[in-house]
């Protein structure tokens, strides 16, 4: 990684040069360095394996320029980037590329402008992680495995039980700097640690999940992620099947996260409203969910894995209220779509350039959630939530939860793959056998009219291939359609 | 300063070859090393509602290294990074740094593996050396022919084409929004290994994707999209593709379909199984999800359990379905990388010659899974006669390759599709794939279609939208009672797998087929009831 002051200086010098270029009306220089280290685990007691299958990383650095050019045909906006170097020469080359591809986009109004707030996060990265230490990171991955194997061993399981531990630890180091003709000059650096672990006892048809997140090594307990996964696999031995039908269901933290990241968040983005794919395009100030529910995104929350000091447009992160007591009051936005919409209610606090293993200089800003918080006006304890359900199902992990008829319809489907239980007489009872249930529903209807209760406790939860975390409570729904499905090699 | 082009790799190749075969192997404990290097030159253009949004004309160069090393045990380590123009002057030191990183990781990994094995005894008995199955070492250079070099297409032409097409479809009454994306790229990939392999493969890839949004009854939004693509140049846009349509006609037809569907009722769900006929486009996604993924050997060996899941076809070496009936005798499914399509490849990212493999032969599961050198070695260690078949690919060399489908398809039969439909007294015809949702080991699926037609007395009568087939995979495949002669291979541009997630272009397809399953419609409360 580099010294952050050097990146900032590179952005400023680049901008100083761009200010001297005749046909450039507005310009922005974005500098980024990213390193993503991933340790992928693969342990199977009954099949030859490596334990930690891969220790790998990908590194990218470079500079990009967004510029508005004055041409004979009018103003045109172009984007160009240059890999690896952040020097003035790299900025010059990026500008040449931007000019070559500039187009007259009538929806483009201006490059990002300051919004009058200041960043609140300071020095929130882990300097030890930022230095980089492969040996330390490799050790973390093996600690996960150690945690899982110790747990299995202590509980009396052996290799004959077809144990498996898979998943990964990911460590991200991100550095950015940005300077623009609209007075934005800033920089940011963050460190992110994530572990997502799955443990199975295949002979017992049970599966468990463990995870850990953090921004500092001191917060991150890799061994516990392994222990958690193994414990959950042990706890869900003896899973039963259920018949197809409608049930009262508690979505645990991960299913709530899956519901929101795959289905809800895409509809709460200003881009989908402007592009006419969201069912909420003309629903501002209208009731779209149960009146109990409020949702906001806040990239400035201290200590949270997805927090950033500034967006990739140089705008300070902060709280964006999306749903307030069931009413739609805001949408996630970047500058492009906020300017296009021309509505001051849309504040561009979510313009990020995720991709390429971090905050990527090759990407133009899209819209991403950061820390998405879901809360209830009347939260209850998890114990009370079970009582509200009475008899039903607790779903701990959902897989492949997709908008089966497109995001506009609200229809979804997915399968229940682990960490799940039956609820009997208001209490968690027998485990549910993993991979035996498909769930079908319509989330627009569920979130509006089927909520039985929401827990007070929220957990920072992540899902595969997404950038945001969801501070997810548990949510109980009535009348959820569950369908019995075939099981692997019964 | 010169631009990076795919010809830049001529300079890179010799430097990298020496480093991998000589320099890397001098270090203590190193048993094997390979490097993948890729350069690409691309053009792209995006239009929205008849207006240009963005364009790009750029290049990329990156590399990825694998080292297998260890003192008492062997493990692998990887390193990947993007390069820039200025790196060409110090290429040797960049690659050396990458090899060093990968080697240190391999050594660290190997030591930890040994420690774990010693500490946990029989519980860690399965931990073993990282071994690659032996393969024939190839030295080959191959360039896929094309008519119009993507690099020769003026960017202005690409921009004006997408804008013009986008404007055309925006004039259709039912269309409320549209986005049109064009990408034309030429890619050159090098694979070099310490065993002496040297593979140099250049190919074009063109992809065109329209997204069409309509407003349906009940004020709902419906998005329809598809991909026109091939390993070819601009000629794909002019009609040289699986649809035999130029990009404009393809998009207008898709928009007309979207317009029809916006006025169609939502499909009602069936209580019981009904006869379903599926067209080749629907079957492209079906074969992808319930055959292609379950026959990826890394999934079979549980490597993907934490992500994409396991395979319904293989629980353990003592409990699997190899040699068993897993589909109707009319069903054969295979992967053929020699077909020209998004899954074409002469050699994979381990330098293994890619070959055709039959996964299901007249309903019987074979042991011919898509594999890699390492997964093949695991099978060989268990006494199975499995040879590497060249299915390892990475989207970019910075990523570690994964076992991937090539052109994975249902084989054609001998029935005419019109006869397959004509024989149905009552049932449904599923045309065009949309969204999949598959269970963890692929034992159950629900896949929606773009169009669903009611079949009554052999005729297509009523059009519905928002309909899916939902079934247990093996039950469904065993119900197939007719397979058409109308084989088609489609481009799938974005199969996601792995951590970090990488997308890959694959080819999938098949003919028209008929079976039995439940059909599931949309939420009738949202309008458009029949």
Q: Say if the Cβ atoms of A159 and B125 lie within 8 Å.
A: yes
Top residue of B39, B58, B113 to mutate, by most chain A CBs within 10 Å, is: B58
pLDDT tens digits along A355-412? 878 999 999 999 999 999 999 999 999 999 999 999 999 999 999 999 999 988 899 9
Place A489 in a pLDDT band, splitting at 50, 70 and 90: low
pLDDT tens digits along B510-522? 999 999 999 999 8
So what's the pLDDT on residue B370?
98
Q: Say if the Cβ atoms of B222 and A57 lie within 8 Å.
A: no
Q: Phi first, then psi: give them for residue A145, nearest 5 degrees.
A: -65, -40
Of B488, B524, B525, B522, the C-alpha closest to B507 is B488
- Closest Cβ–Cβ partner in B1, B112, B523 for A410: B523
pLDDT tens digits along A211-239? 888 899 888 999 999 999 999 999 999 99
- All residues of chain A having their beta carbon less than 8 Å from the beta carbon of residue B305 are 164, 166, 198, 200
So what's the pLDDT on residue A464?
77
- Closest-CA distance, B78 to chain A, in angstroms, reads 4
pLDDT tens digits along B190-241? 999 999 999 999 999 999 999 999 988 766 788 999 999 999 999 999 999 9
Q: Quick one: closest CA in B to A168, which residue?
A: B499
Q: What are the beta bridge partners of residue A416?
A: A398, A437
Q: Say if the Cβ atoms of A83 and B60 lie within 8 Å.
A: yes
- Whether B530 has a pLDDT exceeding 50, the answer reads no
Tell me A405's DSSP state: T
Separation of CA A187 from chain center: 22
- All residues of chain B having their beta carbon less than 8 Å from the beta carbon of residue A83 are 60-61, 82-85
CB atoms within 10 A of CB A458: 18
Tell me the CA distances in angstroms from A209 to A227, A306, A333, B11, one per residue in order. Answer: 9, 21, 33, 48
Number of Cα atoms under 13 Å in the Cβ half of residue B49: 12
CB atoms within 10 A of CB B145: 10
So what's the pLDDT on residue A138?
86
- Closest Cβ–Cβ partner in A93, A166, A485 for B306: A166
pLDDT tens digits along A432-470? 999 999 999 999 999 999 999 999 999 998 887 777 899
pLDDT tens digits along B394-417? 999 999 999 999 999 999 999 999
Q: Phi first, then psi: give them for residue A353, nearest 5 degrees.
A: -110, 50
pLDDT tens digits along B154-166? 999 999 999 999 9
Place B11 in a pLDDT band, splitting at 50, 70 and 90: confident
Rounded CA gap, B79 and A52, in Å?
15
Q: Say if the Cβ atoms of B84 and A82 lie within 8 Å.
A: yes
- Closest-CA distance, A416 to chain B, in angstroms, reads 8
Rounded CA gap, A253 and A461, in Å?
7
Of B472, B469, B451, B468, the C-alpha closest to B460 is B451
Mean pLDDT of B276-292: 98
Q: Say if the Cβ atoms of A138 and B108 lie within 8 Å.
A: yes
Tell me what the pLDDT averaged over chain A comes to. 94
Place B524 in a pLDDT band, splitting at 50, 70 and 90: low
Rounded CA gap, A97 and A364, in Å?
14
- Distant-in-sequence, close-in-space partners of A305: CB < 8 Å, separation ≥ 6: A192, A193, A194, A213, A214, A215, A371, A460, A462, A469
So what's the pLDDT on residue B1?
52
Q: Quick one: closest CA in A to B378, which residue?
A: A48
- Whether A490 has a pLDDT exceeding 60, the answer reads no
Tell me B219's DSSP state: G
Place B529 in a pLDDT band, splitting at 50, 70 and 90: very low
- Closest-CA distance, A436 to chain B, in angstroms, reads 9
Q: Say if the Cβ atoms of B472 and A485 lie within 8 Å.
A: yes
Could you tell me if residue A374 is left (phi over 0), alpha (psi between -120 and 50 degrees) or otherwise beta? beta
3-class DSSP state for residue A106?
Answer: coil
- Whether B445 has a pLDDT exceeding 70, the answer reads yes
Query: Helices A134-154 and B91-120, interaxial angle, to 10°?
Result: 20
Of A312, A341, A60, A355, the C-alpha closest to A189 is A312
- Whether A134 has a pLDDT exceeding 90, the answer reads no
Rounded CA gap, B275 and A229, in Å?
42
Residue A354 and residue A360 in contact, taking contact as beta carbons nearer than 8 Å = yes
So what's the pLDDT on residue B528?
36
- All residues of chain A having their beta carbon less than 8 Å from the beta carbon of residue B124 are 51, 149
Place B2 in a pLDDT band, splitting at 50, 70 and 90: low
Q: Say if the Cβ atoms of A85 and B317 lie within 8 Å.
A: no
So what's the pLDDT on residue B218?
65
Mean pLDDT of A243-255: 96
Q: Phi first, then psi: give them for residue B224, nearest 5 degrees.
A: -120, 140
How would you label A306-321 residue by residue, b for 16+ Cβ within 10 Å and e otherwise? bbbbbbbbbbbbbbbb
- Closest-CA distance, B41 to chain A, in angstroms, reads 13
Q: Quick one: closest CA in B to A403, which residue?
A: B435
- Closest Cβ–Cβ partner in B113, B120, B382 for A50: B113
Percent of chain A predicted with pLDDT > 70:
99
pLDDT tens digits along B338-386? 999 999 999 999 999 999 999 999 999 999 999 999 999 999 999 999 9
- All residues of chain B having their beta carbon less than 8 Å from the beta carbon of residue A85 are 84-86
Structure tokens at A160: 């004959």
Q: Say if the Cβ atoms of A442 and B526 lie within 8 Å.
A: yes
Mean pLDDT of A82-90: 93
- Closest-CA distance, A118 to chain B, in angstroms, reads 31
- Whether B334 has a pLDDT exceeding 90, the answer reads yes
- Asked if the bond preceding B500 is cis, omega within 30° of 0, the reply is yes
Of B326, B319, B316, B311, the C-alpha closest to B358 is B326
CB atoms within 10 A of CB B97: 14
Mean pLDDT of B470-493: 97
So what's the pLDDT on residue A463?
81
- All residues of chain A having their beta carbon less than 8 Å from the beta carbon of residue B439 are 399-400, 415, 417, 435, 438, 485
């Amino acid at each position: 990684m580099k010294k952050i002051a050097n990146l900032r200086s590179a952005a400023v010098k680049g901008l100083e040069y761009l200010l001297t270029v005749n046909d450039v009306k507005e310009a922005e220089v974005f500098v980024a360095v990213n390193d993503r280290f991933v340790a992928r685990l693969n342990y199977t007691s009954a099949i030859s394996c490596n334990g930690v299958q891969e220790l790998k990383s990908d590194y990218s650095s470079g500079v990009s320029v967004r510029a508005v050019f004055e041409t004979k045909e009018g103003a045109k906006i172009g984007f160009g980037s240059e890999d690896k170097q952040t020097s003035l020469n790299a900025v010059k080359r990026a500008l040449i590329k931007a000019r070559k591809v500039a187009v007259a986009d009538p929806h483009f109004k201006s490059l990002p402008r300051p919004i009058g707030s200041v960043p609140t996060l300071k020095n929130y990265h882990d300097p030890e992680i930022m230095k980089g230490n492969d040996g330390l990171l490799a050790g973390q991955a093996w600690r996960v495995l150690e945690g899982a194997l110790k747990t299995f061993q202590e509980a009396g399981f052996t290799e004959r039980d077809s144990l498996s531990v898979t998943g990964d630890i990911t460590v991200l180091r991100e550095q950015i700097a940005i300077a623009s003709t609209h007075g934005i000059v800033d920089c940011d650096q963050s460190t992110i640690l994530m572990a997502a672990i799955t443990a199975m006892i295949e002979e017992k048809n049970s599966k468990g999940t463990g995870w850990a997140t953090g921004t500092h090594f001191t917060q991150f307990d890799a061994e516990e992620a392994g222990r958690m996964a193994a414990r959950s696999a042990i706890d869900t031995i003896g899973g039963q099947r259920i018949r197809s039908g409608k049930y009262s269901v508690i979505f645990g933290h991960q299913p709530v996260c899956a519901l929101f990241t795959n289905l809800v968040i895409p509809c709460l983005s200003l881009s989908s409203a402007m592009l006419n794919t969201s069912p909420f395009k003309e629903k501002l100030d209208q009731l779209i969910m149960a009146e109990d529910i409020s949702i906001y995104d806040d990239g400035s929350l201290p200590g949270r894995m997805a927090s950033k000091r500034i967006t990739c447009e140089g705008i300070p992160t902060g709280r964006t209220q999306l749903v307030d007591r069931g009413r739609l009051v805001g949408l996630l936005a970047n500058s492009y779509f906020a300017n296009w919409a021309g509505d001051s209610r849309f504040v561009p606090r979510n313009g990020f350039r995720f991709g390429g293993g971090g905050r990527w200089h090759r990407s133009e800003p899209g819209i991403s959630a950061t820390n998405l918080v879901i809360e209830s006006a009347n939260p209850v304890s998890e114990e009370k939530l079970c009582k509200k359900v009475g008899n039903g199902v607790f779903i701990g992990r959902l897989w492949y939860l997709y908008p089966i008829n497109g995001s506009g319809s609200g229809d979804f489907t997915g399968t229940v793959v682990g960490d799940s239980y039956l609820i009997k007489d208001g209490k968690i009872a027998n485990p549910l056998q993993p991979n035996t249930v498909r769930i079908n529903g319509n989330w627009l209807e569920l979130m509006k009219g089927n909520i039985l209760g929401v827990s007070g406790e929220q957990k920072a939860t992540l899902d595969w291939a997404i950038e945001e975390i969801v501070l997810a409570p548990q949510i109980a729904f009535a009348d959820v359609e569950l369908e019995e499905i075939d099981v692997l090699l019964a | 300063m010169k631009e990076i082009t795919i010809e830049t790799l001529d300079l890179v190749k010799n430097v990298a070859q020496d480093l991998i075969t000589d320099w890397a192997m001098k270090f203590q404990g190193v048993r094997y090393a390979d490097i993948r290097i890729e350069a690409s030159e691309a053009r792209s253009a995006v239009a929205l509602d008849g207006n240009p949004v963005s364009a790009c004309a750029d290049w990329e160069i990156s590399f990825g290294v694998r080292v297998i090393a260890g003192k008492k045990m062997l493990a692998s380590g990887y390193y990947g990074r993007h390069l820039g123009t200025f790196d060409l002057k110090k290429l040797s030191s960049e690659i050396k740094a990458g090899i060093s990183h990968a080697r240190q990781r391999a050594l660290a990994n190997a030591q930890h593996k040994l420690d774990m094995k010693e500490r946990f005894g029989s519980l860690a008995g399965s931990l073993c050396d990282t071994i690659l199955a032996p393969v024939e070492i190839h030295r080959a250079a191959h360039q896929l022919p094309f008519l119009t070099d993507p690099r020769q297409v003026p960017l202005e032409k690409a921009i004006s084409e997408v804008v013009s097409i986008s404007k055309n479809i925006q004039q259709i009454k039912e269309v409320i929004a549209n986005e049109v994306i064009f990408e034309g790229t030429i890619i050159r990939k090098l694979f070099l290994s310490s065993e002496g392999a040297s593979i140099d493969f250049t190919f074009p890839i063109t992809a065109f994707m329209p997204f069409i949004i309509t407003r349906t009854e009940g004020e709902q939004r419906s998005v329809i999209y598809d991909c026109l693509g091939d390993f070819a140049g601009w000629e794909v846009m002019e009609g040289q593709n699986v649809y035999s349509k130029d990009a404009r006609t393809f998009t207008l037809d898709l928009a007309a379909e979207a317009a029809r569907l916006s006025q169609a009722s939502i499909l009602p769900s069936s209580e019981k199984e009904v006869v379903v006929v599926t067209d080749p486009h629907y079957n492209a996604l079906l074969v992808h999800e319930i055959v292609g993924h379950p026959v990826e050997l890394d999934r079979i060996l549980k490597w993907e359990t934490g992500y994409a899941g396991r395979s319904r076809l293989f629980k353990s070496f003592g409990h699997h379905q190899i040699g068993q009936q897993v589909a109707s005798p009319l069903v054969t499914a295979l992967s053929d990388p020699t077909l020209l399509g998004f899954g074409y490849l002469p050699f994979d990212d381990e330098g293994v010659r890619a070959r055709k493999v039959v996964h299901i032969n007249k309903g019987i599961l074979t042991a011919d899974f898509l594999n890699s050198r390492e997964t093949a070695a695991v099978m060989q260690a268990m006494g199975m006669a499995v040879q590497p078949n060249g299915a390892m690919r990475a989207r970019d060399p910075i990523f570690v390759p994964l076992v991937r489908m090539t052109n994975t398809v249902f084989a054609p039969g001998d029935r005419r599709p019109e006869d397959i439909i004509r024989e149905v007294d009552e049932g449904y015809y599923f045309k065009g794939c949309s969204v999949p949702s598959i269970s963890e080991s692929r034992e159950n699926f629900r896949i929606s279609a773009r169009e669903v037609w009611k079949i009554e007395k052999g005729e297509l009568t009523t059009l519905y939208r928002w309909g899916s087939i939902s079934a247990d995979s093996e039950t469904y495949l065993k119900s197939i009672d007719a397979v058409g002669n109308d084989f088609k291979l489609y481009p799938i541009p974005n199969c996601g797998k792995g951590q970090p997630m990488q997308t890959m272009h694959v080819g999938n397809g098949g003919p028209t087929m008929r079976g039995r399953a439940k059909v599931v419609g949309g939420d009738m409360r949202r309008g458009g009831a029949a």
